[in-house]
Structure 1
Amino acid sequence: MLHDVVSAIYQGGYLVELEFDDGQRGTVDFTKYLERQGVFEQFRDLEFFRSFAINKELGVLTWDNEIDIAPETWYAKVTGTHLPAWMNPEKEPRKN
Protein backbone atom coordinates (compact mmCIF):
# COMPACT_ATOMS: atom_id res chain seq x y z
CA MET A 1 0.00 0.00 0.00
CA LEU A 2 1.26 3.46 -0.86
CA HIS A 3 1.11 6.25 1.70
CA ASP A 4 0.88 9.98 1.11
CA VAL A 5 2.90 12.60 2.94
CA VAL A 6 0.42 14.73 4.93
CA SER A 7 2.81 16.86 7.01
CA ALA A 8 6.40 18.05 6.63
CA ILE A 9 8.25 20.10 9.24
CA TYR A 10 11.72 21.50 8.67
CA GLN A 11 14.08 20.37 11.45
CA GLY A 12 17.29 22.19 10.47
CA GLY A 13 20.05 21.44 8.00
CA TYR A 14 18.71 18.84 5.58
CA LEU A 15 16.38 17.14 8.06
CA VAL A 16 12.61 17.07 7.60
CA GLU A 17 10.06 15.39 9.82
CA LEU A 18 7.47 13.66 7.67
CA GLU A 19 4.06 12.33 8.65
CA PHE A 20 2.17 9.90 6.45
CA ASP A 21 -1.54 9.33 5.97
CA ASP A 22 -1.51 6.32 8.31
CA GLY A 23 -0.01 8.32 11.20
CA GLN A 24 3.55 7.03 10.82
CA ARG A 25 6.12 9.77 11.26
CA GLY A 26 9.84 10.22 11.41
CA THR A 27 12.72 12.48 10.50
CA VAL A 28 14.50 11.91 7.22
CA ASP A 29 17.91 13.20 6.15
CA PHE A 30 18.16 14.56 2.63
CA THR A 31 21.96 15.08 2.82
CA LYS A 32 22.69 12.30 0.31
CA TYR A 33 20.92 14.31 -2.38
CA LEU A 34 23.61 17.02 -2.12
CA GLU A 35 25.98 14.71 -4.02
CA ARG A 36 23.60 14.22 -6.93
CA GLN A 37 23.64 16.09 -10.20
CA GLY A 38 20.80 17.52 -12.25
CA VAL A 39 17.78 19.00 -10.51
CA PHE A 40 19.04 17.89 -7.09
CA GLU A 41 22.00 20.30 -7.35
CA GLN A 42 19.52 22.97 -6.29
CA PHE A 43 19.37 21.38 -2.82
CA ARG A 44 22.86 22.76 -2.15
CA ASP A 45 21.13 26.12 -1.69
CA LEU A 46 19.65 25.65 1.78
CA GLU A 47 17.04 28.36 1.20
CA PHE A 48 15.83 26.48 -1.86
CA PHE A 49 15.77 23.20 0.07
CA ARG A 50 13.71 24.81 2.83
CA SER A 51 11.11 25.98 0.27
CA PHE A 52 9.50 22.52 0.05
CA ALA A 53 5.75 22.08 0.10
CA ILE A 54 3.35 19.14 0.00
CA ASN A 55 1.54 18.52 -3.25
CA LYS A 56 -1.72 17.40 -1.66
CA GLU A 57 -3.06 15.97 -4.91
CA LEU A 58 -0.10 13.62 -5.26
CA GLY A 59 0.82 13.24 -1.56
CA VAL A 60 4.48 14.07 -2.17
CA LEU A 61 7.01 16.53 -0.86
CA THR A 62 7.90 18.86 -3.71
CA TRP A 63 10.12 21.82 -4.55
CA ASP A 64 8.77 24.37 -7.03
CA ASN A 65 6.38 21.62 -8.17
CA GLU A 66 9.26 20.28 -10.27
CA ILE A 67 11.33 18.14 -7.93
CA ASP A 68 9.78 15.39 -5.87
CA ILE A 69 10.99 12.18 -4.31
CA ALA A 70 8.77 9.10 -4.21
CA PRO A 71 7.16 9.01 -0.75
CA GLU A 72 7.62 5.23 -0.68
CA THR A 73 11.34 5.83 -0.26
CA TRP A 74 10.82 7.86 2.91
CA TYR A 75 8.00 5.69 4.24
CA ALA A 76 10.34 2.68 4.13
CA LYS A 77 13.04 4.61 6.02
CA VAL A 78 10.63 5.95 8.65
CA THR A 79 8.95 2.60 9.32
CA GLY A 80 11.91 0.29 8.74
CA THR A 81 9.99 -1.59 6.06
CA HIS A 82 11.08 -2.62 2.58
CA LEU A 83 10.38 -0.67 -0.57
CA PRO A 84 7.65 -2.14 -2.78
CA ALA A 85 9.01 -4.81 -5.15
CA TRP A 86 8.27 -2.65 -8.18
CA MET A 87 10.81 -0.10 -6.85
CA ASN A 88 13.55 -2.77 -6.59
CA PRO A 89 13.69 -4.38 -10.03
CA GLU A 90 17.25 -5.63 -9.44
CA LYS A 91 16.00 -7.79 -6.58
CA GLU A 92 13.49 -9.65 -8.72
CA PRO A 93 14.52 -13.13 -9.85
CA ARG A 94 16.25 -13.22 -13.21
CA LYS A 95 14.39 -14.78 -16.10
CA ASN A 96 16.46 -16.82 -18.55
Structure 2
Amino acid sequence: MRPRAVDVKPLEDYKLLVTFNNNETRVFDVKPYLDFKPFEQLRNKEIFKTVRVGGLSVEWVTGQDVCPDELYYNSNVEN
Protein backbone atom coordinates (compact mmCIF):
# COMPACT_ATOMS: atom_id res chain seq x y z
CA MET A 1 0.00 0.00 0.00
CA ARG A 2 1.31 3.43 -0.92
CA PRO A 3 1.58 5.96 1.92
CA ARG A 4 -1.17 8.58 1.99
CA ALA A 5 -1.46 11.79 4.01
CA VAL A 6 -3.65 11.62 7.11
CA ASP A 7 -2.60 14.90 8.76
CA VAL A 8 -0.84 18.08 7.67
CA LYS A 9 0.39 21.21 9.43
CA PRO A 10 1.91 24.28 7.78
CA LEU A 11 5.39 25.20 8.99
CA GLU A 12 7.58 28.25 8.54
CA ASP A 13 9.40 28.87 5.26
CA TYR A 14 6.71 27.20 3.10
CA LYS A 15 7.16 23.70 4.48
CA LEU A 16 4.54 21.16 5.49
CA LEU A 17 4.66 18.63 8.31
CA VAL A 18 2.81 15.63 6.91
CA THR A 19 1.81 12.46 8.75
CA PHE A 20 1.16 9.45 6.54
CA ASN A 21 -0.96 6.35 7.07
CA ASN A 22 2.21 4.31 7.68
CA ASN A 23 2.83 6.45 10.81
CA GLU A 24 5.77 8.30 9.25
CA THR A 25 5.99 12.04 9.74
CA ARG A 26 7.82 13.86 6.98
CA VAL A 27 8.60 17.45 5.94
CA PHE A 28 7.69 18.55 2.42
CA ASP A 29 9.17 21.78 1.04
CA VAL A 30 6.67 23.67 -1.12
CA LYS A 31 9.07 26.52 -1.91
CA PRO A 32 10.42 25.01 -5.20
CA TYR A 33 6.84 24.88 -6.52
CA LEU A 34 6.01 28.54 -5.83
CA ASP A 35 7.54 29.67 -9.14
CA PHE A 36 4.99 27.62 -11.09
CA LYS A 37 1.81 29.44 -12.06
CA PRO A 38 -0.64 27.06 -10.32
CA PHE A 39 1.17 27.51 -6.99
CA GLU A 40 1.87 31.27 -7.06
CA GLN A 41 -1.11 32.05 -4.79
CA LEU A 42 0.52 30.02 -2.03
CA ARG A 43 3.13 32.75 -1.60
CA ASN A 44 0.40 34.48 0.39
CA LYS A 45 1.08 33.03 3.83
CA GLU A 46 -2.57 33.24 4.87
CA ILE A 47 -3.54 31.08 1.90
CA PHE A 48 -0.59 28.74 2.51
CA LYS A 49 -1.87 28.13 6.06
CA THR A 50 -5.20 26.81 4.70
CA VAL A 51 -3.58 23.49 3.75
CA ARG A 52 -5.62 20.42 4.66
CA VAL A 53 -5.82 16.73 3.89
CA GLY A 54 -8.01 16.17 0.86
CA GLY A 55 -8.57 12.79 -0.71
CA LEU A 56 -5.24 10.96 -0.83
CA SER A 57 -2.97 13.98 -0.41
CA VAL A 58 -3.01 17.64 0.66
CA GLU A 59 -4.83 20.60 -0.85
CA TRP A 60 -5.47 24.29 -0.31
CA VAL A 61 -8.73 26.24 -0.36
CA THR A 62 -7.62 27.87 -3.62
CA GLY A 63 -7.56 24.50 -5.40
CA GLN A 64 -3.88 23.55 -5.49
CA ASP A 65 -2.90 20.04 -4.52
CA VAL A 66 0.17 17.83 -4.56
CA CYS A 67 0.27 14.34 -6.05
CA PRO A 68 0.35 11.80 -3.19
CA ASP A 69 3.49 10.09 -4.50
CA GLU A 70 5.25 13.44 -5.02
CA LEU A 71 4.34 14.44 -1.48
CA TYR A 72 5.80 11.26 0.01
CA TYR A 73 8.85 10.60 -2.17
CA ASN A 74 9.99 14.25 -2.27
CA SER A 75 9.74 14.80 1.47
CA ASN A 76 12.22 14.12 4.23
CA VAL A 77 11.73 12.10 7.38
CA GLU A 78 11.30 14.41 10.35
CA ASN A 79 14.24 14.36 12.75
Q: TM-score, normalising length from structure 1?
A: 0.69
Amino acid at match of 1:67: Q
For residues 62-81 of structure 1, what are the structure 2 equivalents within 5 Å? 62-64=59-61, 66-78=63-75
Highest RCO, 1 vs 2 (Cα 8 Å, sep ≥ 6): 2
Over the matched positions of the two proteins, sequence identity in percent amounts to: 22
**Alpha-carbon contact 2:27-2:76 (below 8 Å) kept:** no
Counterpart position of 1:43: 42
Name the structure where strand makes up a greater proportion of residues: 2
Which residues of structure 1 form unaligned runs of 5+?
81-96
Structure 1 outlier segments of 4+, above 6 Å: none
Secondary structure of the corresponding residue to residue 13 of structure 1: helix
Q: Distance in 1 between matches of 2:29 and 2:3?
A: 19
Inter-CA distance 79–16: structure 2 relative to 1 (3 Å threshold): closer
For residues 1-96 of structure 1, what are the structure 2 equivalents within 5 Å? 1-37=1-37, 39-55=38-54, 58-64=55-61, 66-78=63-75
Counterpart position of 1:86: none
RMSD: 1.9
Residue 79 of structure 1: how far off its partner (Å) = 6.2
Secondary structure of the corresponding residue to residue 66 of structure 1: coil
Which residues of structure 2 form unaligned runs of 5+?
none
Amino acid at match of 1:54: V
